[in-house]
Chain A
Amino acid sequence: MTHLGSPEISTAARRARGVLQPWDVRLRGARGYQRIRRAVLTVSVLTVVGTPFLAARFADRSFPAGIFVGATTAARALGVEFLDPLMSAGVLLAGGARPGLLAAALPVLLLVVVLGRFFCGWLCPYLPLLAASNAVRWALGRLGIPTLDVRLPGWVRFAVLGGVLGGTAALGVQLAALVYPPALLARSAYRLAFGFGLGGGAAVVAAVWLFDTTVSRAGFCRSLCPGGALFSLLGARSPVRVRRVASQCTDCTVCDVVCNLGQRPMSDAVGTGCERCGRCVASCPTAALSLSLEGRRR
């Protein structure tokens, strides 16, 4: 398959024939940004999966707990607490809040307000599984086995978030711990490291993965993940946005196609669902897109 050398012709033509797929898109631009993002993601995944295995090897558990303990949902790194806003919101709504919760919640909250839904593209331990899901979709497509790509309406994720938080308040049990893939993956990694088997949480993650693979590309992330929905809400005013220079844009659609979360940079329709992964910027053959800081403007 040829690369997208002359996007005006080949990609538009492919699009017209309905064959332009995410895997046709090469990420050639914004290499520095992508390199940093991948490095951060690698560190995140290693802390989630790796530190329990290290902890299990040190009988007194002093290492690596002194440096890092927990996972993305509730980490303590070098003495600083990082509590996922979905978790702090759940504890707050269930009436389980203690002094100190706010201090633990604040660092991530500030990051989300400034950077929007960046967690999903930079830190989420489910991302490697999503990449695998997309690879399987590609392989199935190659084999001629069709995969669905159902697009749920935009309000669904907010309904799910409301249901999870409302259910948490009603039941007095933190539901996010039971349905939120970052929490489930981290607990499964810990269970495996300590010799207790994967546990039921892994089955939930497997169901999510099968949904993404067979029913809707990144559909859980896009439309069902309560964390993603909350980050979208909290980061709605984020000044970090994808900007398009219309005069350089050739309407080749690769940016729309490469986006996992259904954003449409080519039509300047990038909303709160944007995870700031910069893949659209990197995919643009004419460098018409950039991530930039903007003032108060929507």
Chain B
Amino acid sequence: MNRRGVLALAAGAVSGLLVRRPRAAAAELRPPGALPPGAFERACIGCFRCAEVCPTRAIRFPPGAGLDAGHPFLALRESACVLCMACTEACPTGALARIPAVPERVAAEVRIGVPVLDRKSCLPWSGQGVCRLCAYVCPVGARAVELVGPQQAPLFHAEGCVGCGLCEEACPEEARAVRIAPATGGGRA
């Protein structure tokens, strides 16, 4: 490379460094093992390997061409994560930290999001009937969702929940009471 090339590289780098960071985008649900917001975007190269190995097609990419176009997110309402951890194994840059598919490790380390329950829609909480589906499908059990009271209504514990979204997927169509929301404040409980 000649001197002009070096100058151009430096000039390009300087002008690139002057780019202003846009205000923080809305937090997204990232695949399991994802680094905290900020660190994840710095490490993720948008290679889609996580999505290519996802058996439930839960891992998606935004349809546009904006700054987030290369960042995978989870569409848990459409399909839940089955915690197979194949995505963490496929990630080439460590944007998804590797977590072995061992139940204890998964329960301890996976924090995709936190459960948010709307008691007005929840069948037992609103007195519309018996349900318990969320508790039946939950892979970590009472650590994340307990059934309480005579109605056997679900009581969610965000600190024990892995955020896989199986409860959101199982929640009856007419209720849609529970959803997994991005954890605020860094993700790790």
Contacts and interface: CB of A to CB of B under 8 A. Distances in A.
Contact of A174 (B13, B16, B45, B52): B45
Interface in B29-69: 35, 38-39, 41-49, 51-55, 57, 60-61, 63-69
B17 interface: yes
Interface stretch (A16-24, A112-120, A121-129, A175-183): A175-183
Contacts of B44: 96, 174, 177
B63 A200 contact: yes
A96 B14 contact: no
A90 B22 CA distance: 19
B46 A183 contact: yes
Chain A binding surface SS class: helix
A199 B62 CA distance: 8
A46 to B, nearest CB: 15
A158 B94 contact: no
A165 to B, nearest CB: 6
B46 A163 contact: no
B1 A232 contact: yes
A177 B66 CA distance: 11
A199 B48 CA distance: 13
A216 interface: no
Nearest to A196: B60
A233 B5 CA distance: 10
A50 to B, nearest CB: 12
B134 interface: no
Contacts of B22: 171
Interface in B59-82: 60-61, 63-70
A52 interface: yes
A209 B18 CA distance: 29
A104 interface: yes
B47 A61 contact: no
B46 A187 contact: yes
B10 interface: yes
Nearest to B46: A177
Contact of B15 (A87, A98, A166, A197): A166
B4 interface: yes
B13 to A, nearest CB: 4
A61 B65 contact: no
B8 A69 contact: no
B39 A96 contact: yes
A296 B86 CA distance: 46
A266 B152 CA distance: 84
Contacts of A194: 51-52, 57
Given A69-B90, A104-B92, A196-B60, A163 B16 contact: yes
B102 interface: no
Interface in B77-112: 86, 90, 92-95
A267 B92 CA distance: 43
Contacts of B38: 172
Contacts of A164: 12, 16
A70 B92 contact: yes
Given A60-B55, A73-B45, A163 B13 contact: yes
B53 A90 contact: no
Contacts of A272: 1
A165 B17 CA distance: 8
A172 B42 contact: yes
B140 to A, nearest CB: 23
Given A98-B93, A171-B22, A187-B70, 4 more contacts: A96-B35, A166-B19, A186-B47, A236-B1
Interface of B: 1-2, 4-19, 21-22, 35, 38-39, 41-49, 51-55, 57, 60-61, 63-70, 86, 90, 92-95
15 contacts: A91-B42, A100-B94, A104-B92, A155-B5, A162-B9, A166-B17, A173-B67, A174-B45, A178-B66, A183-B45, A190-B52, A199-B63, A199-B65, A199-B69, A203-B65
Leading 4 A-B pairs by shortest Cβ distance: A166-B16, A162-B12, A200-B65, A98-B94
